[in-house]
A and B are shown apart, each in its own frame.
Chain A
Amino acid sequence: MTQTDRTPVLSLRDVHKSFGPVEVLHGVDLDLHAGEVLALIGENGAGKSTAMKCLAGYQAPTSGEVRVDGTPVRFSSLHDGELAGIVLIHQEFNLAEQLTVEQNVFLGRELRRGPLLDRAEMRRRTADYLARVKCDVDPGARVASLSNSQKQMVEIAKALGRDARVLVMDEPTAVLTRREADILFEQVDALRAEGTAVLFTSHKLGEVKQIADRVAVMRDGEVVRTGDAARMSEDEMATAMVGRDVSDLYPAKPGLAADAPILLRVEGLDVPGQAHGIDLQLRAGEILGLAGLVGSGRTEAMEGLCGLRPARARRIEIGGEEVRIRKPADALDKGLVYLTEDRKLKGLLLGKGMRENLTLASLARYGTFIDRDAEDVALTEAIREFDIRAGRRDALVGNLSGGNQQKLLLAKVMQSGPRILIVDEPTRGIDIGTKQQIYAYLRRLAAEGYGIVLVSSEMQEIIGLSDRVLVMRQGRIAGEVTGEAIGEDAIVRHAMGVAARVEAA
């Protein structure tokens, strides 16, 4: 490391952060230096976002220090962070769509002359900031009319307007095309030359190599490796991101019977703009992992398969019989259910009770006039089977813990009596104990002859649970990993698109 002699502009020292009983950062140290670009990489759930939020003052560390120019500070609000010159750019833009570029850049700190807004001056300065990031946008244009890369530039112009000394960007290129990303990197170069410290996260190791001076790799809430970007190969980065033994968190894999019948066969599934030419086979008793980066089209492909979004397929067979699935009800009829990755926004009605939620997707089973006693019996059953700990039976679902919500969601999809279960991020944001229960439950279902597709961004989960893994990349199946070969290395390489290169080397 070349910068150790200088005092970092912004640093984290032994930062711990807990949400409730769950600690997600276990003593993180990070240094950001003026005129340096630091890339923060790691798997989903490694703690990157939380670390960034602590840096920018969005969240206060549970213990440990945030230092600005070597002096410990305590940001009591986001505003304090901005005053210290730290600007965080979210993955989802923080712009008011209906306001103009100029109004956004000066939002909350409008310039005034007397009681009136000094629009001429604001416009002049906005034009100046935009020119500095080489963004050819009219300051009077509405943000809603801009492209994603232009919005990204406006965010950066806004940061310039706040005299940012530190710019923190959460996956800035996730929404950008290759060309737009290159434009962004030119601006990052310019900012670096001006002495701004830049931190960004990315899943694209290629661009990390391209733009970053230093790389910090996070895993399980810790920084496991830092180093010069120039001296780390993409492969080393991927290896550092992964590489932890699978513990007994996962149930043993009994192995699949050779004559297990094929439950689901999909040929040539297309979800416009999201996934193309997806082929897959699922046997009874099998847990098929579907891995890939966020945005690789896994969720979209599975939602398309289940009729939840427009999709076409050359052929879909369930239990050897060709089926057409145009709407969710078709999938349910054929015993195919999808457990959504987003339990709060797509899975459960948070303002309703457990009973209404449990039976919503399969109300037809409870008669023309809904049999509430039968519903109550079903709820009692679900509470027992899934060990749902809600305190009160009539508790609103929004008041349950994430783990209990997830169990209820699982109970809900099981209500319709499926044969094939597609579970998308079944353990996102829940504690380890509940994870273990869910893993055990899924394995038990498989043992009973169900077919299970496990979509997950958590590499460990994919490896620990899957009998076979398909890896998606940019909307296509990039590779398949089976049996003993299932490991982080193989999966990450397929997901990052470096597999071919490594094999060729």
Chain B
Amino acid sequence: MTSTTEGAPTRGWKLPPMGVLGPILALIALIVLGAAMNPSFLAYANITNVLARSAFIGIIAVGMTFVITAGGLDLSVGSMAAFIAGLMILVMNAALPTLGVGVPIILLGMAVALVAGLLAGLLNGFLITTLGIEAFIVTLGTMGIYRSLVTWLADGGTLSLDFGLRTFYRPVYFDGILGVSWPIIVFALVVIAGEVLMGRMRFGRHCAATGSNEQVAHYSNVDVNRTRLATYAMLGVLVGVATIMYVPRLGSASASTGVLWELEAIAAVIIGGTVLKGGFGRVWGTVIGVLILSLIDNILNLTDLVSPYLNGAIQGVIIILAVILQRESRAKD
């Protein structure tokens, strides 16, 4: 330690550390690999397909980034999505005789999804912050509850959106602007908003401070409970948004909707460099994490080098590798 501190902030550009570079390099490597193995990989249709399918997990993962950064965890998002999808379909089907097929009924469905997501997120947040129960326990519980509720609503089968409605609603997933489909646009908007919120606004700093040391945050005029509650509520709303995009794709919901989404979302967040125990998070990293996971799936499907059934195994290896790389880069600091 020298005796003084440099007077002016350093503005010079230097190579970012491995923790930043790692996920980006991995993504580039996957794209190169995919392009080399199958020429149709870089085709417009394939790219759009990969991005659109990434959007559901991606939108949820952005919310998850905030929850994890603030020192929390949410295991319930997959079943929450299934439950919201089921609820949306039931409400829209029930309103069909009164509202008929048209924009109002779609808006009603969307509102149901957003409100249900907000309430579900607030419930998780309330149990965790006000009652002080471990996030893992609370969301493990609500995960079971939502999964069971959607199974019950569907009576063990599938809830299907009315055929006429489905045809009307389909464009929300399949259409878009200038060839970019809606899920991709919404995902991009969520990411940009999330990045600004995390990096440029008070809320992001407060999340990082809360996750980093709750006591210090409290003593620094941060309302720790409200910050935590807000992260869960925000995640709930984003699950609602993802569900709005998801329902028109298949037009149905069942007990198997959204299975393991929570783990994919958490994995994407961690691969992206957010610290699992909280205190540091980056939204753009999460996006890269989501893309890495989708690309692996896509490449395995496009090539017959490795069975697509091994997708889970490869994702597992990637997650563990990502964390090891991050730890090593941190040890060097």
**Are B222 and A360 touching (Cβ within 8 A)?**
yes
> Closest approach, in angstroms, between the C-beta of B198 and any C-beta of chain A?
11
Question: What 1/0 flags go to A340-361 for Cβ under 8 Å of B?
Answer: 1000011111111000100011
Chain A residues with Cβ below 8 Å from B208 are: 352, 356
Closest A-chain residue to B206, C-beta based? A363
With known contacts A360-B209, A369-B201, A370-B200, A347–B216 Cβ distance under 8 A: yes
In residues 315-334 of chain A, which contact B (Cβ within 8 Å)? 327-329, 332
Q: Does A447 contact B (CB under 8 A)?
A: no
Chain B residues with Cβ below 8 Å from A345 are: 213, 215-216
Q: State A368–B7 Cα separation when bound (angstroms).
A: 27
With known contacts A360-B222, A391-B2, A348–B216 Cβ distance under 8 A: yes
**Are A380 and B215 touching (Cβ within 8 A)?**
no
Q: State A391–B10 Cα separation when bound (angstroms).
A: 13
**Are A389 and B1 touching (Cβ within 8 A)?**
yes
**Are B202 and A392 touching (Cβ within 8 A)?**
no
Chain A residues with Cβ below 8 Å from B213 are: 345, 349-350
Chain A residues with Cβ below 8 Å from B219 are: 308, 328, 338, 340, 346-347
Instruction: Identify the stretch in A46-54, A141-149, A197-205, A393-401 within 8 Å (CB) of chain B at 4 or more residues.
Output: A393-401
**Are A393 and B216 touching (Cβ within 8 A)?**
no
Q: Does A256 contact B (CB under 8 A)?
A: no
Q: Does B304 contact A (CB under 8 A)?
A: no
**Are B3 and A389 touching (Cβ within 8 A)?**
yes
Q: Does B221 contact A (CB under 8 A)?
A: yes
Closest B-chain residue to A401, C-beta based? B1
Q: Does A388 contact B (CB under 8 A)?
A: yes
**Are A394 and B10 touching (Cβ within 8 A)?**
yes
Q: State A379–B9 Cα separation when bound (angstroms).
A: 9
Q: Does B98 contact A (CB under 8 A)?
A: no
Residues of B within 8 A of A (CB-CB), count: 32
> Closest approach, in angstroms, between the C-beta of A310 and any C-beta of chain B?
13
Partner of A391, one of B1, B7, B202, B212: B1
With known contacts A332-B221, A338-B219, A364-B202, A352–B9 Cβ distance under 8 A: no
Q: Does A294 contact B (CB under 8 A)?
A: no
**Are A328 and B9 touching (Cβ within 8 A)?**
no
Q: Does B279 contact A (CB under 8 A)?
A: yes
Closest B-chain residue to A330, C-beta based? B221
With known contacts A369-B200, A370-B202, A360–B10 Cβ distance under 8 A: no
Chain A residues with Cβ below 8 Å from B222 are: 360-361
With known contacts A349-B212, A352-B208, A380-B8, A360–B3 Cβ distance under 8 A: no
With known contacts A345-B213, A389-B5, A360–B200 Cβ distance under 8 A: no
> Closest approach, in angstroms, between the C-beta of A85 and any C-beta of chain B?
39
Partner of B10, one of A363, A393, A401: A393
> Closest approach, in angstroms, between the C-beta of B206 and any C-beta of chain A?
8
Chain B residues touching A, majority SS = loop
Partner of B6, one of A329, A363, A392: A392
Chain B residues with Cβ below 8 Å from A348 are: 216
Residues of A within 8 A of B (CB-CB), count: 40
Chain A residues with Cβ below 8 Å from B215 are: 345-346
Chain B residues with Cβ below 8 Å from A128 are: none
With known contacts A308-B218, A389-B3, A368–B201 Cβ distance under 8 A: yes
Partner of A393, one of B5, B205, B280: B5
Q: Does A267 contact B (CB under 8 A)?
A: no
Q: Does A122 contact B (CB under 8 A)?
A: no
Q: State A396–B279 Cα separation when bound (angstroms).
A: 14
> Closest approach, in angstroms, between the C-beta of B208 and any C-beta of chain A?
7
In residues 101-140 of chain B, which contact A (Cβ within 8 Å)? none
Q: Does A14 contact B (CB under 8 A)?
A: no
Question: What 1/0 flags go to A379-393 for Cβ under 8 Å of B?
Answer: 110011000111111
Closest B-chain residue to A371, C-beta based? B200
**Are B212 and A352 touching (Cβ within 8 A)?**
yes
**Are B10 and A370 touching (Cβ within 8 A)?**
no
Question: What 1/0 flags go to B7-46 for Cβ under 8 Å of A?
Answer: 1111000000000000000000000000000000000000
> Closest approach, in angstroms, between the C-beta of B79 and any C-beta of chain A?
31
Q: State A388–B4 Cα separation when bound (angstroms).
A: 7
Q: State A388–B7 Cα separation when bound (angstroms).
A: 11
Closest A-chain residue to B197, C-beta based? A369
Could you list 30 examples of A-B contacts with CB < 8 Å? Answer: A329-B223, A332-B221, A338-B219, A340-B219, A345-B215, A347-B216, A347-B219, A349-B209, A349-B213, A349-B279, A351-B279, A351-B280, A352-B208, A356-B208, A356-B209, A360-B216, A360-B221, A368-B202, A369-B200, A370-B201, A370-B205, A389-B1, A389-B3, A389-B4, A390-B5, A391-B2, A392-B5, A393-B5, A393-B10, A396-B333
* Given A356-B209, A393-B5; 8 other pairs, CB 8 A cutoff: A346-B216, A351-B279, A356-B205, A362-B221, A370-B200, A380-B7, A392-B5, A394-B10
Q: Lowest 7 CB-CB distances: which A-B pairs, in order?
A: A361-B220, A360-B220, A390-B5, A361-B221, A391-B1, A363-B202, A346-B219
